[in-house]
Amino acid sequence: MTEGAPVTTRGRGARGGRGGPRGPYAKSAERRSAIVEAAFEVFTAHGYQGGSLQRVADVVGMSQTSLLHYFPSKSDLLLEVLRRRDQMSSGEFVRGAGVQLAGDVERQARYNEGVPGLIGLYTVLSGEAVTEGNPGRAYVTERLAVLRRDYAADFRALAEVGRLREGVDPDRAAAGLVGLWDGVQLQWLLAPDEVDVPRLLRDYLDLVILPAATGDGAEPAPPSA
């Protein structure tokens, strides 16, 4: 639901971790996890369209035939990589009520600076998603729609407490926030010293959100500005 905020290292799998199943199933889950991990690396470096199953198989040290036993097609593997990305992105940050939007966004954006590989992967895959027949298309389309809907709800909550600037439309402001985030992340990946993503998002939110009345505690200052 967020733009990305991985919890720990990329080594932690969706299945087969501590507390998971034991025995043959655990072993199989471990392999599955290793394949997704390898695919994550390959797609990050080459994109989905440029990354081959053979390369993924090479990274994980198995034959392509064995790999296809776990994931019948490349697009199955892509969708698992995207789900993994979502798992990594959730959990670290608890979204507050809608009125805490600016602080939530800035914290997530600062965190994202530490995981350029993950942001890069998402940037490549979401760009590729606009091509005809791309298997990630439905996923990315849905994800962007969910983000728009959630941020629109946040802006509406702000409007209810009188903190949305007059004339700002919550739905369009939400699409704008999502688009700004994606677009400036692209610039940051290519010119990290010139583009400060959290600051640019804060600039935008400062334009559309009015300051909280002093002392109401609805919008605490971010930990580091």
Q: Could you say whether residue 123 binds a copy of itself (CB under 8 A)?
A: yes
DSSP code of residue 161? T
Distances in Å between the Cα of 202 and the Cα atoms of 2, 42, 175 are 16, 33, 16
How many contiguous H segments (helices) and E segments (strands) does the chain have? Answer: 9, 0
Dist. CA 84–CA 103, nearest whole Å: 25
Dist. CA 60–CA 58, nearest whole Å: 6
Q: Could you say whether residue 127 binds a copy of itself (CB under 8 A)?
A: yes
Using CB under 8 A, pick the residue from 53, 168, 210, 218 that binds a copy of itself: 168
- Closer CB to a copy of itself, 5 or 125, in the complex: 125
Using CB under 8 A, pick the residue from 200, 209, 212, 219 that binds a copy of itself: 200
Q: Which of 63, 6, 73, 60 is nearest to 32 (CA)?
A: 60
Q: Could you say whether residue 108 binds a copy of itself (CB under 8 A)?
A: no
Site track for a copy of itself across 27-66, x = CB under 8 A: -----------------xxxxxxxx---------------
**Which residue is listed with tokens 């369209």?**
49
Using CB under 8 A, pick the residue from 199, 210, 218, 222 that binds a copy of itself: 199
Q: Which range, of 21-29, 82-90, 106-114, 135-143, touches a copy of itself by CB under 8 A?
A: 135-143
Number of residues binding to a copy of itself, judged by CB under 8 A: 56
Using CB under 8 A, pick the residue from 194, 214, 216, 224 that binds a copy of itself: 194
Residues contacting 167, CB < 8 A, separation 6+: none
Q: Could you say whether residue 210 binds a copy of itself (CB under 8 A)?
A: no
- Asked whether 57 and 44 are in contact (CB, 8 A), the reply is no
**Which residue is listed with tokens 């009015």?**
210
- Closer CB to a copy of itself, 112 or 185, in the complex: 185
DSSP lists the bridge partners of residue 164 as 209
The least distance separating a copy of itself from the CB of residue 29, rounded to whole angstroms, comes to 29
**Which residue is listed with tokens 């729609």?**
145
The least distance separating a copy of itself from the CB of residue 66, rounded to whole angstroms, comes to 24
Count Cβ atoms below 10 Å from residue 220 Cβ, excluding itself: 10
Q: Which residues contact a copy of itself by CB under 8 A? A: 44-51, 120, 123-132, 137, 140-141, 144-145, 148, 165, 167-169, 172-173, 175-176, 178-187, 189-191, 194-196, 199-200, 203-204, 206-208
